[in-house]
């Protein structure tokens, strides 16, 4: 039976084929804020995160990096863990799918499903997307994956199958009876429509690679990565172990209260995972909450798109609280939201350095100056409607903040809390405590005490509410308020008037550093420098994930990038070009609309290419390798600012980028693994 006093929350376990970026940080910070608050609300909280380390994608990334899968996963997993430790993420456990406790648990789940008749042996022949680790309905080798557009691979395998088709009815019934199971509503509707459209049995083993968990009693097969990965939520708390301590833990925390995920992995969590659990007769998690994507430069931030921002850059400049506050305040939870360094610094300056920072420093320094660092006694006789209004607003803020946070409306909750900050700052300006302090009569002294008590009490309340989101700064303000260790605070009891007059303040210091334009430039330079360094090919012994990135794990023959052929763009003495030189070349995504052979020239094709702003005629020597009809609709990379030239009397207005290899310079067109809009710039 579920234990109502507990709260178990999980992040996805992140793939170790790429280093962490602020997209991963987003989910982790959301879960951390929720977990911290639940602890402060007195719940027995368990917060799990970890890494997903098996599968062909990772096997290939390791091979590309020239090291063993084990070495590879150890390195990247430790980077994830190191980052969370540096950010003081309050996870209770970090699961790695290569750990024995997980392997044992996954095998136990597999056996349980087999014993209950939900797994059978069959054979599969069809297309597989290595990137998504997904069998797809696509025809023929190389045809694109309907999920991500990358070319699929043909597999013919004897496999174990899970009877997903049998779970259609039970799943629909479950969704119907548990309306809060999938959130938000839009995702729930998508999932229901997907299941209603019919489910086919799911292949849950592979024989074509080795880097995975062997099927019990049939080690030629490894268990499908998603069955392996999803099980982490239970294996981490003891599923599959005979140890009574593990069994107790499992009973204490399972079912999970929240699986927090990004919206791209909804199907795995909301269809496959509950189907496995229903089939195994195990309790289902209480809710799966899918958030939107963090966008950077207008598309989803991801390693394969090459548009990532690392958390470390922000930690090194503005600190962890700045990043946490930005992510929760700026992004409307559930929707996609954009990251930019400008917006980060603007938010930081406005809300943290100015609003909260000012409230804290002026309130605490005036108490230090006028009351020798002791919280003054508010005088009942000197209470005005302005003081009452702040007290009332603070009480309302507590109630609204809780309600909004519980609905995962983090940005609204913070907006609510910061409305109190703004009101108190205005109250201070209007009540001019510095002017009241000039007057030496008794009433003025009592009035000054009331103003500063009111300000300090409101500061205490905002600090308590904001603690799960900006733990460092709030812990420091708490100490400056003379209240000791903030993590001992019981948030359920938070109410106006609990600040004890006479409390001795701690040492008053500024909590947030100031940021300006140079901070933005510094962060941008740090990111540029880092991407330049990780673009340098790694030696096997110093394998970097750049070498093992999603791009590098593309199937053979699929170009993820290619050099511009034949164009020299200015060199320096050491034969290197500057970034400015490079930026002179205008590279754009184009889509081939028309392609035909050029009469009398067996190497040339004439094409009409849409580059977003116009359709260009381009003539290229690729006819030996590419059939014109197969090129129509293909996205290519165009050098858009090349001077026009004539080839066989036809004007060529730009150049198509291709790799060129072999003695005869065989061309291979550069392309993209993801869908990109026509006209997008490359840089």
Residues in contact with ligand ME8 by CB under 6 A are 12-15, 23-24, 26-27, 52, 229-230, 232, 261-262, 264-265, 293-294, 300-302
Which C-beta is closer to ligand ME8: that of 26 or that of 371?
26
Distance of alpha carbon 245 from alpha carbon 242, whole angstroms: 9
b/e sequence 366-381, b meaning 16+ C-beta within 10 Å:
bbeebbebebbebbee
Which C-beta is closer to ligand ME8: that of 294 or that of 483?
294
Q: Are 230 and 282 in contact (CB under 8 A)?
A: no
Encoding tokens for residue 408? 């995962």
Q: Closest Cα partner for 94 from 48, 63, 147, 145? A: 48
Encoding tokens for residue 396? 């309302």
Q: Which residues contact 199 (CB under 8 A, 6 or more apart)?
A: 164, 165, 167, 168, 171, 271, 275
Which C-beta is closer to ligand ME8: that of 168 or that of 264?
264
Which C-beta is closer to ligand ME8: that of 232 or that of 317?
232
The distance of closest approach from Cβ of residue 272 to ligand ME8 in the complex, given in angstroms and rounded to an integer, is 10
Encoding tokens for residue 270? 């909301």
Encoding tokens for residue 56? 């062909």
The distance of closest approach from Cβ of residue 285 to ligand ME8 in the complex, given in angstroms and rounded to an integer, is 11
Which C-beta is closer to ligand ME8: that of 20 or that of 667?
20
Helix, strand counts (H, E) of the chain? 23, 27
Which C-beta is closer to ligand ME8: that of 240 or that of 262?
262
The span from the first CA to the last CA of the chain, in angstroms, equals 55
Distance of alpha carbon 532 from alpha carbon 552, whole angstroms: 16
The distance of closest approach from Cβ of residue 226 to ligand ME8 in the complex, given in angstroms and rounded to an integer, is 7
Which C-beta is closer to ligand ME8: that of 64 or that of 398?
64
- The 10 Å Cβ neighbour count of residue 653 is 19
Q: Closest Cα partner for 572 from 560, 564, 581, 561? A: 581
Which C-beta is closer to ligand ME8: that of 229 or that of 564?
229
The distance of closest approach from Cβ of residue 103 to ligand ME8 in the complex, given in angstroms and rounded to an integer, is 15
The distance of closest approach from Cβ of residue 446 to ligand ME8 in the complex, given in angstroms and rounded to an integer, is 53
The distance of closest approach from Cβ of residue 148 to ligand ME8 in the complex, given in angstroms and rounded to an integer, is 11
The distance of closest approach from Cβ of residue 49 to ligand ME8 in the complex, given in angstroms and rounded to an integer, is 10
Helices (H), 254-384: 266-267, 273-280, 311-317, 320-330, 341-347, 357-371
The distance of closest approach from Cβ of residue 353 to ligand ME8 in the complex, given in angstroms and rounded to an integer, is 26
Which C-beta is closer to ligand ME8: that of 371 or that of 408?
408
The distance of closest approach from Cβ of residue 11 to ligand ME8 in the complex, given in angstroms and rounded to an integer, is 7
Which C-beta is closer to ligand ME8: that of 227 or that of 631?
227
Which C-beta is closer to ligand ME8: that of 258 or that of 421?
258
The distance of closest approach from Cβ of residue 77 to ligand ME8 in the complex, given in angstroms and rounded to an integer, is 12
The distance of closest approach from Cβ of residue 260 to ligand ME8 in the complex, given in angstroms and rounded to an integer, is 7
Encoding tokens for residue 444? 């003025």
Which C-beta is closer to ligand ME8: that of 269 or that of 412?
269
b/e sequence 336-345, b meaning 16+ C-beta within 10 Å:
ebebebeebb
* Cα 254 from chain centroid (whole Å): 25
Q: Are 586 and 639 in contact (CB under 8 A)?
A: yes
Q: What is the DSSP string of 377-415?
A: PPPGGG--HHHHHHHHHHHHHHHHHHHHHHTT-HHHHHH
The distance of closest approach from Cβ of residue 15 to ligand ME8 in the complex, given in angstroms and rounded to an integer, is 4
Which C-beta is closer to ligand ME8: that of 250 or that of 636?
250
The distance of closest approach from Cβ of residue 393 to ligand ME8 in the complex, given in angstroms and rounded to an integer, is 34
Which C-beta is closer to ligand ME8: that of 14 or that of 211?
14
The distance of closest approach from Cβ of residue 632 to ligand ME8 in the complex, given in angstroms and rounded to an integer, is 32
Q: Are 62 and 53 in contact (CB under 8 A)?
A: no
Taking CA atoms, 91 is separated from 200, 297, 319, 394, in Å, by 37, 31, 19, 31
Q: Closest Cα partner for 222 from 236, 204, 235? A: 204
Print the SS3 string covering 197-251. CCCCCEECEECCCCCCCEECCEEEEEECHHHHHHCHHHHCCCCCCCCHHHHHHHH
Q: Closest Cα partner for 464 from 408, 384, 405, 411? A: 405
């Amino acid at each position: 039976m579920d234990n109502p006093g507990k709260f178990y929350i999980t992040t996805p376990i992140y793939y170790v084929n790429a280093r962490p970026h602020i997209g991963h940080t987003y989910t982790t910070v959301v879960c951390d804020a929720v977990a911290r608050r639940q602890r402060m609300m007195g719940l027995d909280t368990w917060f799990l995160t970890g890494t997903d380390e098996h599968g062909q994608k990772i096997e290939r990334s390791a091979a590309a990096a020239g090291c063993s899968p084990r070495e590879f996963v150890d390195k990247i997993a430790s980077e994830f863990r190191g980052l969370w430790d540096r950010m003081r993420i309050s996870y209770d456990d970090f699961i790695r799918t290569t750990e024995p406790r997980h392997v044992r648990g996954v095998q136990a789940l597999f056996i349980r499903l087999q014993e209950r008749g939900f797994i059978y042996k069959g054979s599969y022949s069809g297309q597989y997307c290595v990137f998504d680790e997904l069998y797809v309905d696509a025809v023929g080798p190389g045809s694109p994956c309907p999920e991500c557009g990358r070319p699929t691979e043909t597999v013919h395998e004897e496999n174990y199958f899970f009877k997903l088709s049998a779970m259609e009815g039970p799943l629909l019934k479950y969704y119907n009876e548990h309306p809060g199971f999938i959130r938000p509503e839009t995702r729930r509707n998508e999932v229901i429509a997907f299941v209603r459209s019919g489910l086919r049995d799911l292949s849950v083993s592979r024989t074509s690679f080795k880097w995975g968990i062997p099927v019990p009693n049939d080690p030629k097969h490894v268990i499908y990565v998603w069955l392996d990965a999803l099980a982490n939520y239970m294996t981490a708390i003891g599923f599959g172990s005979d140890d009574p301590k593990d069994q107790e833990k499992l009973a204490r925390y399972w079912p999970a209260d929240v699986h927090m995920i990004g919206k791209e992995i909804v199907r795995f969590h909301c269809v496959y995972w509950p189907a496995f659990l229903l089939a195994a007769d195990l309790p289902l998690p209480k809710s799966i909450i899918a958030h939107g994507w963090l966008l950077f430069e207008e598309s989803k931030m991801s390693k394969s798109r090459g548009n990532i921002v690392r958390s470390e850059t922000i930690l090194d400049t503005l600190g962890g609280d700045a990043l946490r506050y930005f992510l929760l305040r700026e992004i409307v939870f559930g929707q996609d939201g954009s990251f930019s360094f400008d917006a980060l610094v603007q938010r930081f300056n406005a809300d943290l350095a100015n609003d909260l920072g000012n409230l804290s420093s002026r309130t605490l320094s005036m108490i230090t100056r006028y009351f020798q660092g002791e919280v003054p006694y508010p005088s009942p006789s000197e209470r005005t409607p302005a003081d009452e209004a702040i007290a009332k607003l603070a009480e309302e803020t507590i109630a609204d903040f809780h309600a909004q946070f519980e609905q995962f409306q983090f940005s609204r909750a913070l907006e609510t809390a910061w409305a109190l900050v703004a009101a108190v700052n205005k109250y201070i300006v209007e009540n001019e405590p510095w002017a009241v302090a000039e007057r030496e009569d008794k009433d003025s002294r009592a009035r000054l005490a009331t103003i500063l008590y009111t300000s300090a009490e409101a500061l205490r309340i905002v600090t308590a509410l904001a603690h799960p989101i900006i733990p460092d700064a709030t812990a420091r303000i708490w100490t400056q308020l003379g209240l000791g260790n903030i993590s001992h605070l019981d948030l359920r009891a938070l109410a106006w008037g609990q600040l004890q007059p006479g409390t001795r303040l701690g040492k008053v210091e500024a909590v947030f550093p100031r940021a300006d334009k140079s901070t933005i430039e510094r962060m941008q330079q740090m990111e540029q420098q880092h991407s330049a360094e990780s673009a340098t090919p790694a030696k096997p012994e110093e394998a970097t994930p750049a070498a093992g990135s999603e791009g590098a794990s593309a199937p053979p023959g699929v170009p993820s990038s290619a050099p511009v052929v034949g164009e020299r763009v200015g060199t320096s003495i050491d034969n290197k070009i500057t970034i400015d030189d490079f930026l002179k070349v205008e590279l754009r995504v184009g889509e081939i609309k028309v392609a035909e052979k050029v009469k009398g020239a067996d190497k040339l094709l004439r094409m009409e290419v849409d580059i977003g702003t116009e359709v260009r005629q381009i003539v290229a020597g690729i006819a030996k390798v590419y059939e014109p009809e197969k090129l129509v609709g293909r996205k290519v990379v165009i050098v858009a600012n090349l001077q026009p030239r004539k080839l066989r009397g036809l004007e060529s207005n730009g150049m198509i980028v291709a790799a060129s290899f072999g003695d005869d310079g065989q061309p291979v067109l550069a392309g993209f693994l993801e869908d990109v809009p026509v006209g997008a710039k490359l840089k």
